[in-house]
Chain A
Amino acid sequence: MGNVGRKLAVLGLGAVGRSVLELADAYGHDITGVADSTAAAIDSNGLAVADILGRKDRGEPIGDADTEAVLAGEYDTLVEVTPTTLGDAQPGFGHVRAALERDKHVVLANKGPMAERYPEVRALADESDGELRFEATVGATIPVLGTIQDYGPEMITAARGVLNGTANFILTRMTHEGLDYEHVLAEAQDLGVAETDPSFDVEGTDAALKCVILANVLTGGEPGFTLDDAEVEGIVDIPPSALELATEDGRTVRLIGEATREGVRVGPRLIPQNGTLAVTGTQNIVQLSTVHAGELNLSGRGAGGHETATAIYADIARLPE
């Protein structure tokens, strides 16, 4: 095995960061630094994870250090799980740069830097002795990027799929129950499937960011794509009558994202009801079109704390010694 006992610095302590801490012991790694948006804790011998999470739960500062101290501290892999930001992708981009410039490995779940500044991040990684991995940015546990890397990006012509569980849950419920969008959205919010502000998911932005990352991986960043290059349409205001008409005809509507070397499109699409892409609930699916081996389907849970942390630990296991 060999790939245990790494020292991890974790930036971001939302659902994903929390899961990274909770699972560190199971994967045999130490957390030597952790920062949330207000405070940080460092210990080069490994922090007591339960204490950190206890302080976080009680609303207390998790420590007396700050993010800068974590970045300058002792670790061999930076786990960047701060919230995804658009445009300059800060502060995530700065965190990635700081770690790569110190020749540390970087593993991201934050989509911002990989979607908005891919060529720059790639260049920093090329200059660094540290390695860059970001499996968790696309479909959480679903091994999309690892598979593309295994086959070689040049052997994949395109990727498409259902990449947002919230939107998929809403469309599935609307179709099965004949309920309108607002009603199902409220239900999804009650169940914790949708955020209080669901715009990122239902307007297609989240799915588009994942597709932009996929397009960047396919081109290697030449050319690089950003969210501005994507053609994006969400699922807001699709009436139940449209879904009924689809059902009558043996079809259904899903929010589908497509990434090719030419660009990215995301929008509601009409697909066969029993087709591969018609996953239900919060399930995600990604289809890869290969040059020599037809179509490959990868599906699973595309979001969630433990699901995303699982992808992060898979990336950590892929890092060189």
Chain B
Amino acid sequence: MNSEVTTQPDGGENVRAYTVRMELVDEPGELLNALEPIAVNGGNLLSIHHERGSLTPRGRIPVQVALECVADRFDDIVTALQDAGITVIEAGEERYSEAVTLLLVGHLVETDLSDTLAELESCPHASVLDFSLSAPHNAEDVSSARVRLAVGREALAETLTAVRALAEEKDLRVIEPQLDDWGG
């Protein structure tokens, strides 16, 4: 069989999601300083988790960035970060390798939506990529939300457990994705 050559849009081939964990000095402009090498080297930022409140033992601020880029540019990004004087603690693909979508149903607004998002974002191996809310016309009715999370393959079960616990706490209902990986 002859294989047809398919053309792909620029950068369309082999784009993957990565996480970079860094420690930043607590100085103005440091976060921007860390993000610039990513953008300059073709990385597309997905999320930034900036824990200003929790300093490392060395008095630095842990920052976790999720990004997408073409696989062979990732090393350039990490090198550029290091060249910019940023301490890179961990960089790799293994943590955010899958995107899962789920629905939340319930009194999302009344149960502090921004807190719900923050809780989701704080799952150690997940990052919120997208969030869509459908609020009811009538305030007493429940609302629905669609959440897309970047999750490490290894941490999928753990993340879903965390989402279920969060939902239970807020009396929300989770409609989980049916995972393709089943049957062992």
Contact = CB atoms under 8 A, between A and B. Distances in A.
Interface string B122-163: 000000000010101000011111100000000000000000
Contact of B103 (A157, A160, A246, A277): A246
Interface in B161-184: 173, 175-178, 182-184
Contacts of B105: 238-239, 242
A184 interface: no
Contact of B142 (A239, A254, A268, A271): A239
A177 interface: no
A245 B102 contact: no
B101 interface: yes
A157 B144 contact: no
A267 B183 contact: no
Contact of B182 (A238, A248, A289): A289
Interface in A224-257: 237-239, 241-242, 244-246, 248-249, 251, 253-254, 256
Given A249-B101, A270-B177, A258 B145 contact: no
Contact of B177 (A241, A245, A260, A269): A269
Given A270-B176, A270-B177, A244 B134 contact: yes
A158 interface: yes
A289 B175 contact: no
A256 B182 contact: no
B101 A289 contact: no
A269 B160 CA distance: 13
Contacts of B142: 237, 239
Q: Is the interface of B mostly helix, strand, loop or mixed?
A: strand
Nearest to A233: B173
A270 B101 contact: yes
A249 B184 contact: no
Nearest to A250: B101
Contact of B175 (A157, A260, A269): A269
Q: Give chain A's interface residue range (CB within 8 Å of chain B).
A: 20 to 34
Contact of B144 (A241, A267, A268, A269): A241
Contacts of A237: 142
A216 to B, nearest CB: 17
Nearest to B105: A242
A215 to B, nearest CB: 13
A270 B143 CA distance: 17
Given A267-B176, A268-B175, A269-B177, A242 B144 contact: yes
Interface in A187-237: 237
Nearest to A235: B175
Contact of B146 (A245, A256, A271): A245
A270 to B, nearest CB: 5
A267 B183 CA distance: 17
Interface in A263-281: 267-271, 277
Contacts of A270: 101-103, 175-178
Nearest to B147: A245
Nearest to A238: B105
Given A160-B183, A241-B143, A245-B134, 14 more contacts: A158-B183, A237-B142, A239-B105, A239-B144, A242-B105, A244-B144, A245-B103, A251-B101, A253-B103, A253-B175, A254-B178, A256-B178, A270-B102, A277-B178
Closest 8 CB pairs of A and B: A289-B183, A242-B144, A158-B183, A269-B178, A241-B134, A245-B146, A241-B144, A157-B183
7 contacts: A157-B184, A244-B134, A245-B145, A256-B178, A269-B175, A269-B178, A270-B177
